[in-house]
């Protein structure tokens, strides 16, 4: 199937792109990698009259590792981020998760920022962003604002971005040396969107869990943190995380979700697997954190 007619605007500056969006916010769409937008246009699920292409804009593809942060520009390709040794050193969780985003051909073109803006609840990058924390830099003709990761995802394919805003960058918080992580998803085939998945990040201080961040994706209209599980873990000595505590965490994770049935899996299956992955996420993150502490 072919998309409906549209006008393609190869922008040379952020200002030019913002002017185009401002002129017709509801009839325009930003395009970065095009790996989600173009399929949606071909399926007639999206029919923008104007495609505002960020790719020709110089300097928008930065990959900048700072002190405790990693900032990715709007056109930084998933492949470039995945292959960056600096990113792997600062945020190995992000590198590990990227290997599960579609296939190498998709990642050659797709962008991390585009994936976060697309906000598919079964996608890997939104869940990693929510787990690490950080902010989206949103620019419009009126100015620039920051949107925290926890305020960014509103619902299925819907974010806090306004139609006349561009996410020019996403900044991730990068974990410190005593943290351990786990990423795991269940899919029918490698490269598919997740039926259900978990991202976990635990930090140790003086032998106890000082920070716990766990996110389930594929189980709701957005990726969801698991505050009940996180509260269960914070303050617990690493050596006290036993089978009973893991089983309780698994029950809490399952109870936090109300996924429906669809052609891929039943809601009950997703809830059960979310619990299993949560327990596994805690165990592996703890092992990694203990090895580094």
Ligand X SMILES: Cc1cc2nc3c(=O)[nH]c(=O)nc-3n(C[C@H](O)[C@H](O)[C@H](O)COP(=O)(O)OP(=O)(O)OC[C@H]3O[C@@H](n4cnc5c(N)ncnc54)[C@H](O)[C@@H]3O)c2cc1C
List interacting residues with ligand X (CB under 6 A): 29-37, 39, 54, 74, 101-102, 106, 110-111, 113-115, 117-118, 120, 123-125, 161, 166-167, 191-193
Q: Which CB, 262 or 268, lies closer to ligand X? A: 262
Q: Which CB, 172 or 279, lies closer to ligand X? A: 172
Q: Let me know: does 198 contact 124? Beta carbons within 8 Å.
A: no
Question: In angstroms, what is the minimal distance from the CB of 202 to ligand X?
Answer: 24
Q: Which CB, 31 or 147, lies closer to ligand X? A: 31
Question: In angstroms, what is the minimal distance from the CB of 99 to ligand X?
Answer: 10
User: In what helix (H) or strand (E) does residue 28 lie, and over which residues does it extend?
Assistant: strand 28-31
Residue closest to 14 by CA, chosen among 43, 48, 55, 47: 55
Question: In angstroms, what is the minimal distance from the CB of 105 to ligand X?
Answer: 8
Integer Cα distance of 278 and 80 in angstroms: 29
| Half-sphere exposure for 262 (CA within 13 Å, toward CB) | 11
Question: In angstroms, what is the minimal distance from the CB of 243 to ligand X?
Answer: 32
Question: In angstroms, what is the minimal distance from the CB of 254 to ligand X?
Answer: 24
Question: In angstroms, what is the minimal distance from the CB of 60 to ligand X?
Answer: 8
Q: Which CB, 81 or 161, lies closer to ligand X? A: 161
Residues 7-32 as b/e (b if ≥16 CB within 10 A, e otherwise) read eebebeebeebbebbeeeeeebbbbb
Q: Which CB, 111 or 173, lies closer to ligand X? A: 111
Integer Cα distance of 219 and 189 in angstroms: 18
Q: Let me know: does 61 contact 53? Beta carbons within 8 Å.
A: no
Integer Cα distance of 20 and 168 in angstroms: 15
- Residues pairing with 165 in the sheet: none
SS3 243: helix
Question: In angstroms, what is the minimal distance from the CB of 156 to ligand X?
Answer: 13
Helices 267-292/243-255 angle, 10° precision: 140
Q: Which CB, 175 or 197, lies closer to ligand X? A: 197
């Amino acid at each position: 199937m072919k998309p409906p007619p549209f006008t393609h605007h190869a922008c040379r500056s952020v200002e030019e792109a913002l002017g185009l969006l401002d002129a017709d916010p509801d009839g325009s769409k930003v395009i970065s990698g095009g790996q989600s937008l173009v399929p949606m246009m071909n399926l007639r699920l999206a029919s923008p009259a104007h495609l505002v292409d960020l790719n020709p804009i110089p300097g928008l593809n930065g990959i900048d590792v700072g002190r405790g942060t990693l900032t990715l520009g709007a056109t930084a390709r998933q492949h470039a981020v995945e292959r960056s040794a600096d990113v792997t050193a600062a945020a190995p969780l992000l590198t590990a998760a990227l290997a599960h985003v579609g296939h190498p051909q998709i990642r050659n073109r797709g962008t991390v920022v585009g994936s976060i803006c697309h906000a598919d609840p079964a996608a890997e990058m939104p869940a990693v962003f929510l787990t690490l924390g950080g902010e989206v830099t949103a620019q419009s003709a009126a100015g620039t604002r920051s949107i925290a990761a926890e305020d960014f995802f509103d619902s299925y394919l819907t974010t806090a971005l306004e139609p006349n805003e561009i996410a020019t960058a996403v900044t991730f918080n990068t974990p410190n040396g005593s943290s351990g992580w786990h990423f795991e998803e269940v899919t029918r085939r490698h490269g598919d969107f997740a039926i259900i998945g978990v991202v976990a990040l635990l930090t140790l201080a003086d032998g106890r869990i000082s920070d716990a961040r766990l996110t389930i994706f594929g189980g709701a209209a957005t990726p969801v943190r698991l505050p009940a599980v996180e509260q269960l873990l914070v303050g617990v000595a690493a050596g006290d995380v036993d089978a009973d505590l893991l089983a309780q965490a698994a029950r809490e994770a399952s109870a936090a979700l109300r996924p429906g049935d669809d052609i891929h899996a039943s809601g009950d299956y997703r809830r059960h697997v979310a619990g299993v992955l949560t327990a596994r996420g805690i165990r592996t993150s703890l092992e990694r954190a203990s090895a580094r502490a």
